[in-house]
Structure 1
Amino acid sequence: MTELEYLDRAEALLATVETECDRINESGQTDIDNQRVGGMVTLVFDDRSQIVVNLQKPLLEVWLAARSGGYHYRWQDGAWRDTKTGEEFYVRLSLSASEHAGVPLSFGAAA
């Protein structure tokens, strides 16, 4: 993948995370304060816990940090996949956000 392809896909992922937070907030499921600064989106939950999603441009990766740990994702087979387990990004984000919020939440481009 070229750096330009990476940037396009990674920026689209961050925009989707922001849009999904807005959708969840509007649905009344929970309140997630999402803040974007450059290549990083921070999700802040009612209990003040956070999930951070940030771009790692030199590695062509996206990193997610949550209560459950840190995860590294690379674009593979049409999705952002964990470099160790192959788990898709939105699966982990949904699980982690559900843990932080205390209610089931679903993130994804088609959630």
Structure 2
Amino acid sequence: MTETEFHSAVDAVLARIENAVEASDTLDVDLEAGILTVTCPDGTKVIVNRQTPNREIWVAARSGGFHFTSREGEWRDTRSGAELFASLASIIASQGGESVAFG
């Protein structure tokens, strides 16, 4: 994946996350300079950002840090193989107490 392709792919992922979380009544979302921050009702944050040198998307949450790489058109955790949107839904439900559907 070229750098341009990577940036386009990540921009689409961040927009999809932002749109899904914006539908929430209790979660706040902010996308600035390629860093997406989801603020939970208790003030904790889930942060999603791009790591261009590694061609990865990184997620930081109370439960830990996760690295996702594009494999066969899906973003997968480099350790567990879990899919990005499924992982985010689980992280946000656990940390923020709300179910988010990424459709």
In the superposition, the TM-score normalised over structure 2's length comes to: 0.94
Which residue does the alignment assign to 1:91? 86
Q: Tell me the SS of whatever aligns to 1:87.
A: coil
Which residue does the alignment assign to 1:28? none
Runs of 4+ with deviation above 3 angstroms:
none
Among 47, 60, 63, the alignment partner of 1:68 is: 63
Cα RMSD of the aligned pairs, angstroms, is 1.1
- State the alpha-carbon separation in 2 of the partners of residues 101 and 33 from structure 1: 10
- State the alpha-carbon separation in 1 of the partners of residues 15 and 9 from structure 2: 10
Which residue does the alignment assign to 2:74? 79
Q: Tell me the SS of whatever aligns to 1:74.
A: strand
Q: How does 1:14-33 map to 2 (within 5 A)?
A: 14-25=14-25, 31-33=26-28
**What amino acid is the match of 1:43?**
V
Per-residue CA deviations over 1:51-80 (Å, capped at 9, x if unaligned) read: 000010111110001111100011101111
Which residue does the alignment assign to 2:100? 106
Q: Tell me the SS of whatever aligns to 2:80.
A: coil
**What amino acid is the match of 1:9?**
A
**What amino acid is the match of 1:58?**
P
CA-CA distance at 1:98 after TM superposition: 0.3
**Given that residues 56 and 69 in structure 2 are in contact (C-alpha distance below 8 angstroms), is that contact kept between their aligned partners in structure 1?**
yes
Per-residue CA deviations over 1:22-70 (Å, capped at 9, x if unaligned) read: 1233xxxxx1111111110000011001100001011111000111110
Q: Tell me the SS of whatever aligns to 1:24.
A: coil
Which residue does the alignment assign to 1:50? 45
Which residue does the alignment assign to 1:59? 54
Alignment pair present for 1:2 and 2:5: no
Q: Gapped runs of 5+ residues in structure 2?
A: none
Alignment pair present for 1:37 and 2:32: yes
Q: Tell me the SS of whatever aligns to 2:16.
A: helix
**Given that residues 93 and 107 in structure 1 are in contact (C-alpha distance below 8 angstroms), is that contact kept between their aligned partners in structure 2?**
no
Q: Gapped runs of 5+ residues in structure 1?
A: 26-30
